[in-house]
Structure 1
Amino acid sequence: SPVPLPVAHIARNMGLARQSVQRIVNLLADRGLVRFEINPHHQRAKLVVLTQEGRAAARAAEDRQRPWARDVAAALGPERVAAALEVLTQMELLLEGAAGTRDEDIREGARV
């Protein structure tokens, strides 16, 4: 993220479990791609910040991804890309709804 965020916010933005994101962030920190900074709003929830090396790695990944993404989009055409985006968006909404229902069931003590 271009803006420093706590792991919990990154996880929420990605729709992933905080623990999973924490493991990945720790690996990135071990490799010098991110660092932790004090969060003025929450002492225990450190902010994750890209290092200079992390920004360079992110740019390199984007540079490698951009040509093949452009080629795939061109091969499919705008109508098929739009249709795929619509289907994926609908799937995301359905899955978020299912996850929300599961979370509610767990909070209420129901078996899932």
Structure 2
Amino acid sequence: MTALTDRGSEFSALLVEVFRVNGLLLAAGDELAAPTGLTSARWQVLGVVDHGPSTVAQVARTMGLTRQTVQQTANSLARDDMIEFQDNPRDRRARLLALTPRGRTALREVERRQAEWANRIGAHLPLPELRAAAGALRDLGDLLEDR
């Protein structure tokens, strides 16, 4: 078995914290989104589609999820009239997801709630530390994408 270097050990400790915080963030997101009939997953899909009609595959790539997971979420959102499937002029087989007025209203409400929550949580952390943490996670994501 290969022994961990000091950096390898710290990286492993970071991963444990990222997994722990990810679970806490998903739970907080579910709580923020619940009054609008959304979950964290549904909110994330609406957030991607808010930038313009997208295929399920495009949403999956943006979110780092499988196409099947996004398809299930999209089907659920369509049943609840939060998104609609539109014809795609570039590919008849890959329909586009687009927000409905109901989906846009729900998304704006969650965004309002999230801004209040982020301001409240962010007020407890120094701005340079927040920037450094975000930068480190961005760099880590880039390294993992390039592997």
Same fold (TM over 0.5): yes
Compute the TM-score of the two structures, normalised by the length of structure 2.
Answer: 0.63
1:48 to 97, 120, 141: 97
Matched residue type, 1:58 = L
The 2-side partners of 1:72 and 1:61 are apart by: 16
- Residue of structure 2 equivalent to 1:71: 120
Q: Secondary structure at the match of 2:98?
A: strand
The 1-side partners of 2:88 and 2:142 are apart by: 32
Matched residue type, 2:115 = R
> How much has 1:43 moved relative to structure 2?
0.3
- Uncovered stretches (5+) of structure 1, i.e. residues with no partner: 99-112
The 1-side partners of 2:140 and 2:79 are apart by: 35
Matched residue type, 2:59 = I
Matched residue type, 1:81 = L
Aligned length: 98
Q: Secondary structure at the match of 2:106?
A: helix
Q: How many percent identity over aligned positions?
A: 41
1:18 aligns with 2:67: yes
Q: Deviations along 1:37-57, whole A, 9 cap, x unmatched? A: 100110010000110000001
Compute the TM-score of the two structures, normalised by the length of structure 1.
Answer: 0.81
